[in-house]
Every structure is written in structure tokens, then in C-alpha cells.
Amino acid sequence: DHLDQTAGSICGQLAHAAHAKKRSPIHSLCWSSEGRRLVTGNRDGEFTLWRGTDFAPPDQSVVTVISAHTVPEPSQINAITLRRDGLSFISGDSVGTIKYWEWTMTPLESIERTHDSSPVQGLSVSPTDEKFASCADDGRVRVWDYKYKKEEACMKGHDWKVLSVDWHPSLALLASGSRDNSVRLWDPRAARSSESDGC
């Protein structure tokens, strides 16, 4: 079975291509934990759930399409990250909204106007799944408590938009990359909330 050999495989050529019926640029994507499904986020605020491994004909690759970030108007989905529980994921959009989802495409929670409503560009989950980090065009990296949907820390230091963030696999350490051509490492335990330091 080719699925059992993927970890040691290198794909040297295009294996499969498919297009959604509605043409809209795809800005983010994320594999399911078992690697059989792929969710993508587009410019029009929609999720598309794809069959990721069976190489179905292009017109049969789409499982479902849902309006995900469309209220009050469509917002581009810039970031999607899988939680380590493998059962849910988080998405962020161009108006600073962060949403929690089950893999069944069921919405769970929403945090509005994060990053002063700047576009969220990246998301990453902590090793414990209890926290997650976001970065945005406001030049900040923020840490959130997943359960309580509360910002716990805000880190500033980049001179421009922060385009990517990633949590270390086992340590309390964040890396961020910015349009200012720098990569920065952060200790979220030493950071303070934006309410306390005006971040």
C-alpha cells in the first residue's frame, strides 16, 4: 500500500492535480492527521475538503465546499493549522478573525478582530495543544490560550508584516519570519499580554 511508504518516499514528479469548480486563488492548506484529506482555504473565504491520496479523477477529488470566513463578507483565508489532537484545526483570515473547526467542517469557536483586525498570516500550535500562536500584518506575534480564547502574550520586534510563525516541536520556543527579512526566536513565557505593555 503506497500510504504505508510515504514517510520514506520522495515525489519526483507531479502525482495529481485538481481544480475546484469555482476558480479562486488558494492561500492556505493543511493535511488531516491520517493524511487522507486536505483542506484548502481560498480568497473568497471558503474551505474545500479534498481527497488527498486516492488520485481520484479531478472532478471527483472534492469532498465538500463550505463557506467558512464569509460573514459579514468574504475574507481571504491566509492560514490553516492542524491541532495535535488530529481532530480539529484553526484558521485565520484577512480581517483578523481566527476560527476553530472540527475535521467534519463543523465550526466550534471564533475570535474576532485579533491583531487589531490586521490580516492573520500564520498560525502554529504548541506541543501541548493548549496554546497557539498567530502572526499578522501588524508586525506582532501573539500567543493564545486555546480553551479560553484569550490572548496571553504579545511579542513585537519585527519592523514589518510577520508572514510566518512556527512553534518548536518540544520546547517553549517560537520562530517567526517577516517581510523585514529577519527571523526571530521568542520565549513566549517571558512575553506579556498586549493589555499590559501596549504591544
3-state helix, strand, coil in the chain (%, to 5): 10, 45, 45
Separation of CA 157 from chain center: 22
CB atoms within 10 A of CB 43: 16
pLDDT digits (tens, 9 = 90+) for 108-140: 999 999 999 999 999 999 999 999 999 999 999
When comparing pLDDT for 1 and 16, which is higher? 16
Q: What is the mean pLDDT of the chain?
A: 87
Whole-number pLDDT of residue 190: 82
pLDDT digits (tens, 9 = 90+) for 151-199: 999 999 899 999 999 999 998 899 999 999 999 999 988 876 544 455 7
pTM of the model: 0.87
Mean pLDDT (whole number) for 70-93: 94
